C-alpha cells in the first residue's frame, strides 16, 4: 500500500507513462481511465479522501489541469465530493465507484508464452472435471497476466463473498477449533493445505495453492481470491475487520504462500506510527 509520503513526490513523465490503466464500475457502466494524471488522482484517492489542494500537491500539476480532470471524473460518476468541514467553500473529493482492476502494458513483455501453451496442452489431457476447471482457471489468469490485466479486486471481492457464506460452517468461538475447521475446509475443497505458523498475530501457511501454484513468477503476491476468503472468515471470527498481508507467495518464487492476519485497528495504528 502506498503511503501518503510516497504519493506526495513530484510525478515525473516516466512515472506517468508507467501508471496502469484503471477500470471502474459506475452507475453509467464500466469506465476505463487511460489518462496518467487521472490515474494518479485515483490512486491517491483510493488511499483517503482529499481536498483540491492536496490533490494538486500529489500530482504536481497546475490547479487548472487538476480542476479539469476532477470535473471529468465527477461527471463520469467515478468521483464524488462534499463540503470541506473547515471551509464550506472548498470540497473534499472521494471515490464514488467500484474499482474493478487495471491494465499494465509495461508487464506484457515479461510473461512467458510457454506457460500458456503448457496449461492449454494439459487441458486437453485432463479427464478429471475438477482438474480441468483448475487448469482452465489458471490458463485464464496466466493469459490475463501476460496481457498486463489485473483483476485482483474482482477476485478479492469474490473470495470475500465465498468466505461470508462458508463461515457459518466453520464457526467456532474457540480459535484453535476454528482454525482446524478452516484447514479442513481448505483441503476438502481442493484449495491446498493450510498450516498455522503462529497465533499472535495469526499466521497461516498455504501449500499446493490452488490459486497461484501454477502461475509464472510474476514477482508479486497473487492470492487475491484466497485473501478475500481469509479476510471474510477472520473478520467474522474476531468480530472486527482484519487486514490480510500475504508475505510469501508461489507467484513471488516462494515455496509456499503465507498470510498474516491482523486487526484493522492495530494495522492502522502501526501505519500511522511509521509515517
pTM of the full predicted structure?
0.59
pLDDT band at 141 (very low <50, low <70, confident <90, very high): confident
127 φ, ψ (degrees, to nearest 5): -105, -15
Decide: 59 and 66 in contact? Cβ < 8 Å. Answer: yes
d(CA 164, CA 167): 5
Give the CA angle between residues 94, 163, 27 to the nearest 5°: 35
Give the rounded distance of the alpha carbon of 141 from its chain centre: 15
- Chain centroid to CA 81: how far? 24
Task: Answer for the pair 61, 37: CB distance below 8 angstroms, yes or no.
Answer: yes
Tell me the Ramachandran region of residue 259: left when phi exceeds 0, alpha when psi lies from -120 to 50, beta otherwise.
beta
Residue scoring higher pLDDT (273 or 255): 255
Give the residue from 179, 173, 108, 177 showing the smallest Cα distance to 146: 108
Give the residue-averaged pLDDT of 47-60: 92
- CA 77 from chain center: how many Å? 22
pLDDT in tens, 183-239: 999 999 888 999 999 888 999 999 999 888 877 787 888 899 999 999 999 999 999
Amino acid at each position: 500500500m502506498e503511503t501518503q509520503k510516497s504519493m506526495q513526490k513530484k510525478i515525473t513523465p516516466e512515472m506517468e507513462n508507467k501508471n496502469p490503466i484503471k477500470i471502474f464500475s459506475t452507475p453509467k457502466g464500466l469506465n476505463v481511465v487511460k489518462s496518467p494524471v487521472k490515474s494518479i488522482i485515483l490512486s491517491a484517492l483510493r488511499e483517503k479522501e482529499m481536498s483540491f489542494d492536496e490533490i494538486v500537491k500529489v500530482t504536481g500539476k497546475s490547479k487548472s489541469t487538476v480542476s479539469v480532470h476532477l470535473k471529468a471524473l465527477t461527471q463520469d460518476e467515478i468521483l464524488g465530493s462534499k463540503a470541506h468541514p473547515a471551509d464550506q467553500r472548498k470540497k473534499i473529493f472521494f471515490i464514488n465507484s467500484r474499482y474493478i482492476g487495471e491494465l499494465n502494458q509495461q508487464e506484457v513483455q515479461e510473461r512467458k508464452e510457454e506457460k500458456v501453451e503448457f496449461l492449454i496442452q494439459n487441458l486437453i489431457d485432463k479427464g478429471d472435471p475438477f482438474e480441468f476447471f483448475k487448469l482452465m482457471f489458471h490458463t485464464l489468469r496466466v493469459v490475463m497476466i501476460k496481457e498486463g490485466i489485473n483483476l485482483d479486486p474482482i477476485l478479492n471481492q469474490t473470495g470475500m463473498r465465498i468466505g461470508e457464506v462458508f463461515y457459518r460452517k466453520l464457526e467456532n468461538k474457540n480459535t484453535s477449533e476454528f482454525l482446524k475447521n478452516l484447514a479442513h475446509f481448505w483441503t476438502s475443497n481442493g484449495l491446498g493445505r493450510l498450516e498455522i505458523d503462529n497465533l499472535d498475530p495469526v499466521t497461516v501457511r498455504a501449500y499446493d495453492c490452488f490459486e497461484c501454484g501454477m502461475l509464472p513468477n510474476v514477482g508479486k503476491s497473487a492470492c487475491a481470491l484466497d485473501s478475500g476468503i481469509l479476510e471474510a472468515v477472520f473478520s467474522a471470527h474476531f468480530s472486527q475487520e482484519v487486514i490480510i498481508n500475504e508475505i510469501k507467495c508461489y507467484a513471488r518464487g516462494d515455496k509456499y504462500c503465507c498470510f498474516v492476519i491482523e486487526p484493522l485497528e492495530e494495522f492502522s495504528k502501526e501505519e500511522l506510527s511509521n509515517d
